[in-house]
Amino acid sequence: MFKLLISKLFTSEPSCQDVDGFLADYMEGVLDEETVADFDSHVAKCKMCMQYFEQYKQTVRLTSTAKVEIPEELVSQTLTFIQQNIRR
């Protein structure tokens, strides 16, 4: 048991929490090569992180292609509200 605790202290592989913490940076391609390798290694071994990562990628894909048009009336009402409620 003690040996397992010591090995966990000196491992460079990230935890599930670590993976979640730098998921956006991974997707943007801003992580260094070692961190990317550690991320890939963890996700390949961890079923929960693999599923989470696949869902995350799908969400990014879907939201990046979604086209939302804001109704002109909403824009007009918002601008009117701002102009009436902001003190100059």
Q: How many Å from the N-terminal Cα to the C-terminal Cα in the chain?
A: 67
8 Å CB contact between 22 and 39: yes
8 Å CB contact between 23 and 54: no
11 band by pLDDT with thresholds 50, 70 and 90: low
pLDDT at position 74 over 50? yes
Average pLDDT on 7-34 reads: 78
* DSSP at 15: P
Average pLDDT on 47-51 reads: 92
Position 43 scores a pLDDT of 92
Measured CA to CA, the distance from residue 21 to residue 15 in angstroms comes to 10
CA angle 17, 21, 27 (to 5 degrees): 125
Range of the domain at 51: 2-85
Total count of domains within the chain: 1
Average pLDDT on 54-79 reads: 87
9 band by pLDDT with thresholds 50, 70 and 90: very low
Global confidence as pTM: 0.58
